[in-house]
Homo-oligomer: A and B are copies of this chain.
Amino acid sequence: MAARDPGSDKTKRHTINDVARLAGVSKKTVSRVINESPFVKEETRKAVLEIMRETGYVPDPQARGLAFRRSFLVGLIYDNPNPQHTISHQQGLLDAMAGSGFELVVRPVDRNSPRLLADMRDFVERQKLFAVVLPSPVSEDEKLAALLRELDVPYVRIGSVALDEPDRMLVSHDGRGAAQAARHLADLGHTRIALISGPPTFRSSIERKKGFEEGLAEAGLTLSPDLAKIGAYTYESGVNAALELFALEARPTAIFCLNDEMATGVYTAAREAGLRIPEDVSVVGYDDAPIAVRLWPPMTSVRLPLRDMGRMAGEMLVPNALREKRADAHEVQPQLVVRGSTGKVG
């Protein structure tokens, strides 16, 4: 290392000027090396890279961002009542971004706020975000997606069904998982199968319900209107909906809930109603949350690879992201996990 380094306070990081001087080239050439320009002689590139290594030089993202008119920040904009979803997506995104030089900035929002679009415009413009990830249900907001296109910010929407061009969409095919649940229950001989869905303001609920009905149809069954309840994706709403179902003269022998929170509510309701799971009623959830295996009996549920989804979204947006050895299909498949909460009818 050069001893004549002037600003070597130890505390001060090296700049592009230091590297240029030590390598005996212009800062522009160093800049070309940083940005992997092909117009640098191999010899020059190596010399510059060597100096960068020796000095531990790392380009300043703020200065780069200012000149580029674009930051190295990826935004995660979420409004999911389920913390497990957010944290899993976040973790996956960070998996993909690790070592890429990009950072993740998180922003919870209220998707029903009248100020949502104005806030998002301000956020994206002010931070000059490099890209944005929109998990559901924020991903379902067409106006938000339109805004991001207008602002020319790359984004990926994570959703239950294709809502956008393939490059901007990571699809989880929620309906297919629900169809698996329907087939599973039909295979066990159930015919009086109830459904507790989520709010219709969640596309996931709509898609899961649709998939469930398709699965039933395959088995020659239909969803009876009196067995179709609408919950709020919350534990309490699951309890209440199940109590209503259990009060029916012709009780269902199986209940499919469009998320695990509500399915957990069914466990509580069954206990109150004096019904055994699965002997008296089979229960299937959706999410395969940690609680599924902590309940008794362990709950059959549909698993969504949330962390993978976050990682894949990150890989779609971030250059130099760590990539798994997998095809770059922009989709994942839900998977039914059969446990003790479902059994043969009667």
Cβ of A61 under 8 Å from chain B: yes
Between A66, A103, A104, the greatest number of chain B beta carbons within 10 A of the residue's beta carbon is seen for A103
Considering only residues 269-305 of chain A, those with a C-beta below 8 Å from chain B are 271, 290-291, 293-296
What per-residue 1/0 map shows which CB atoms of A76-112 lie under 8 Å from chain B? 0000000110111011001000000001111110000
Identify the 3 closest CB pairs spanning chains A and B, nearest first.
A83-B87, A62-B65, A103-B105
Considering the complex, give the chain B residue whose CB is closest to the CB of A71. Answer: B62
CA distance A258 to B290 in the complex (A): 19
Q: Are A104 and B105 in contact (CB under 8 A)?
A: yes
Prevailing SS type, chain A contact patch: helix
Tallying the copies of this chain within the complex gives: 2
Cβ of A125 under 8 Å from chain B: yes
Cβ of A122 under 8 Å from chain B: yes
Of B91, B103, B126, which contacts A61 at CB under 8 A?
B126
Cβ of A264 under 8 Å from chain B: yes
CA distance A88 to B83 in the complex (A): 8
Considering only residues 123-172 of chain A, those with a C-beta below 8 Å from chain B are 125-128
Interface residues on A, range: 35 or more
CA distance A106 to B87 in the complex (A): 11
Cβ of A13 under 8 Å from chain B: yes
Considering the complex, give the chain B residue whose CB is closest to the CB of A66. Answer: B62
In the bound complex, residues from chain B placing their C-beta under 8 Å from that of A60 are: 66, 126
Q: Are A127 and B103 in contact (CB under 8 A)?
A: yes
Cβ of A341 under 8 Å from chain B: no
CA distance A239 to B94 in the complex (A): 32
In the bound complex, residues from chain B placing their C-beta under 8 Å from that of A291 are: 291, 294
Q: A235-B294, A267-B296 are in contact. List 19 more A-B contacts (CB 8 A).
A: A13-B125, A58-B126, A60-B66, A60-B126, A62-B65, A62-B71, A66-B66, A73-B103, A83-B83, A87-B87, A91-B108, A94-B106, A104-B106, A105-B105, A235-B290, A264-B294, A268-B294, A268-B296, A295-B295
Of B86, B90, B122, B296, which contacts A271 at CB under 8 A?
B296
Between A65, A87, A235, the greatest number of chain B beta carbons within 10 A of the residue's beta carbon is seen for A87
CA distance A60 to B291 in the complex (A): 45
Cβ of A63 under 8 Å from chain B: yes
